[in-house]
Chains A and B, each alone.
Chain A
Amino acid sequence: MWKTALFAAVAAASLTDGVASEAPSRQDVLWLDRVTYGPTTATVDRYLKLGRRRFLDEQLHPHNPQLPAEVAAELDALEISHSDGAHLLAYVSEQQQRINTLSDDVAKQNERKALNEKGNKLAYEAARREILRALYSPAQLQEQLTWFWLNHFNVFQYKANDPWLVGDYAERAIRPNALGHFRDLVLATLQHPAMLQYLDNAQNAAGHINENYARELMELHTLGVGSGYTQQDIQELARVLTGVGVNASGTAPRLKPEWQPLYRHQGAFEFNPARHDFGLKTVLGKPITGSGFDEVEQAVDLLVAQPACAQFVSRKLAVYFVSDDPPRALTDRMAKTFQKTHGDIAAVLETLFKSRELEASLGAKFKDPMHYVVSTLRLAYDGKPIVNTHPVVNWLNALGEPLFGRQTPDGFPLTENGWASSGQISRRFEIARAIGSGNDGLFEPEDGSRAVTTGFPELSSRLYFAAVEPYLSTNARTALARAASQLEWNTFLLASPDFNYR
């Protein structure tokens, strides 16, 4: 009963503040739950102001999105914001070489440990940046797409020197291209040392073929398994990719004069003609004559132009944004847009977000852990920026979806059956309780400089009454009415089916 009285007071307050003269409908809220990581007061206001069409336009074509000043300052304080992958890789390689020459085993191990810790710190910074952007960037669709492509072109922070590179990978290879052209994404990931190390193309050279990356480039990145390419195509593509590798030191290799014009490098990426197989290749029935890195661009163009690629990428986007088994009619229309626009991701997404199929699917997509945690914090703290992202990293770990933590190149599952096992659900309920308790240090500076006690997050906020409360299911209402404390109330709300689907 005390609960009801409190809500009534808050509700009355929200009616008098005048802004929400027009409330979002249930469909509006659910739609926002797909376009964004979950509505906040700011997103709801923006949506009501612009209307759906213009809101979507803004999300599809974000212009210089501004983070809140406190968050921008938090990002600016990161070491990865002031160094790029090439420099970090040069540094770590140099250190590793130096440590290898040490004769004292103990010193060696200690220094190795210190270097690894430094790498892990940088990878943590990269995760922190992703979390803060997901929470507070107004370009919410771009942020979801950044996560989506990081997962599609997965790299793993514990492979080789990748902890030093994952931040650069997200910021330079993925985010700028997240709503751009698919071809650019493929080429950006293909030329990034994080990917070249992760899928071993750095070791792929004429006479020492490593087809790991070539296989995944076809199977996981562009065409999809069973789309008609053969083992022979993989081997030929691997030959095309010979010499595409990493040069940590930045010193160009000594090359024969005729090879020098063919040498390419950008940051720590290099194409070394001395390691390249210049023989004739045939990929998907098309001949590719030996000419150097041009071959790679030709091959990528060829892959991206395949109808199978348009279908594969469209379907995966639809699985992420629409449903675990999206209607074929929708994915066909998306694929058509993909082919017509030569892989313009924003155009493909416009087809998706303006579809009847999306409208019909609202509210039925199970949130993966990233969506769950981010949307929870967006509801719980609305626009108030958190200070400490360690708890968020821990929750994502506990829920099994750490940023840069997927070991296998297939990426995390995007469907409900990957996340709704019994163990995962009970874990999620426990995380719901942890977040609902507010007793988690989200507002304590990461340097431990001061302890900050926060009370329960105020879930019954204006946002709650505008966007959540009116549309709660009977089951959720019944559970909330049975709550014996604020903590229980918070927990039940965050554990409800209403809140676990978008």
Chain B
Amino acid sequence: MKRRNFLRMMALATPGLTLAGRVFAAPPGAPRFLLVFLRGGYDCANVVVPYSSSYYYETRPNIAIPEPGGVGAIDGAVALDANWALAPILRASIAPLYAQRQALFIPFAGTEDLSRSHFETQDSIELGQPLQGSHDLRSGFLARLAAEVNGASPIAFTDSLPVCLRGAADIPNISLKGVGKPVFDSRQASILSDMYAGHHLQPEVQDGLELRQEVGRVMEEMKEASRDAITPKGFELEARRLGRLMRDQYRIGFIDVGGWDTHVNEGAAQGALANNMDSLGKGLAALSQELGGEWRNTVVAVVSEFGRTFRENGNKGTDHGHGSVYWLLGGSISGGRIAGEQVAVDRQNLFQDRDYPVLNEYRAILGGLFAALWGLSAEQLQRVFPGATPVDLKLV
């Protein structure tokens, strides 16, 4: 059976409940939002480098990234403005987006959670609830956002549903990592689906089977398009598949990338952190291409649970810190700049004499962004981020 027939068969089985049915729920030109979560606390100071700070060079004798155009310029950072520069490993992927005003960075961003624990901080960010008081562990902020947005078509590109997409509604998820060809052909899929006719799980069963076919179709299409070119690997491959799916179907997406917990030998312009950043940067650049015309409607936010200690530690690495640098990418954002509240990067401005402070609280800035993207009311924003005061940084 051709995919079209397969979809039609599915659509006939339960009108309006299939994935395909949702495509038409949002008007063309409606925003698409992807949250990229860097799990492990990435060392922002070695990615968006505070090169005007002599304290940075003093306190990172082994791991600092050379300033733009300085000695050893081949490894030198790419200037973003008079104070900040991008890690050279992102020269070909993210720097061009910044030059086209399709990327911006928000230093001193993060949460006020001070546990410095990965899982606690990741969780509290994904829940997006006030830090004080008890938390509803079954309610994440992206799920609450999806509930407020018309035709949100949310999806997680992860193995299981992440905390931020937990909620009352059925939100599909599928990992694009190492995903093979669809296991079931359409005859088998329809038998499986029929088995759940009249069952309350029928929509999930159909969604799941169809999503798997859809991913298979995207993979096939991309394979054909690439001819004999080298197949991308790792995150870039995942990001290309993701881009294709977001372009065709989804308006709120989530993906996470791990491996940022660089306590030991993190490297400088090159090394462990740079390698991981390289694959992230290439993936995000590929994503922007894969989205095609939809790139102009898309905003990608890159966040992490916390920053790392400003000074390098005894193992040529960095430990758990506080403030981070968030990224925003998108075809129509007000990019090419450093956004949000700023302070000079020097010793007296470090939080607890060790970390970046948090001047741009994530719920405030993401709330402001969502308000601008979807025109959410104050009441709606309160449902997404209860108790937060959104700040409009004119990001889009």
Contact = CB atoms under 8 A, between A and B. Distances in A.
Given A400-B160, A423-B208, A475 B184 contact: no
Given A408-B123, A429-B184, A422 B170 contact: yes
B280 interface: no
B273 interface: no
A80 B96 CA distance: 54
Interface in A211-263: 212, 219, 225-226, 231
Contact of B195 (A400, A427, A496): A496
A435 to B, nearest CB: 13
Contact of B194 (A423, A475, A491): A475
B197 interface: yes
Contacts of A496: 195
B173 A421 contact: yes
Interface in A111-157: 156
Contacts of B175: 423
B137 A426 contact: no
Interface string B287-308: 0000000000000000000000
A426 B211 contact: yes
A398 interface: yes
Interface in B149-198: 156, 159-161, 163, 170-175, 183-184, 188, 191-192, 194-198
B209 interface: yes
A495 B201 CA distance: 12
A109 interface: yes
B134 interface: yes
Given A475-B197, A497-B196, A423 B173 contact: yes
B211 A422 contact: yes
Interface residues on A, range: 35 or more
Contacts, number: 104
A426 B174 CA distance: 9
Contact of B192 (A200, A226, A400, A429): A429
Contacts of B112: none
B195 A408 contact: no
Interface stretch (A165-173, A314-322, A476-484): A476-484
B199 interface: yes
A385 to B, nearest CB: 28
Interface in A405-420: 407-408, 410, 420
A426 B195 contact: no
A475 B196 contact: yes
A423 B134 contact: no
B219 to A, nearest CB: 15
A476 B163 CA distance: 34
B194 A479 contact: yes
A84 interface: no
Given A400-B160, A421-B208, 20 more contacts: A105-B265, A200-B117, A400-B159, A407-B119, A422-B172, A422-B174, A423-B159, A423-B208, A423-B211, A424-B173, A425-B205, A426-B174, A427-B159, A427-B208, A433-B183, A479-B192, A479-B194, A488-B191, A491-B188, A497-B196
16 contacts: A109-B265, A156-B119, A225-B135, A408-B137, A421-B204, A422-B174, A422-B205, A422-B207, A425-B201, A425-B205, A425-B208, A475-B196, A475-B199, A478-B194, A479-B194, A496-B195
Interface of A: 105, 109, 156, 200, 212, 219, 225-226, 231, 398, 400, 407-408, 410, 420-427, 429-430, 433, 475-476, 478-479, 482-483, 488, 491-492, 495-497
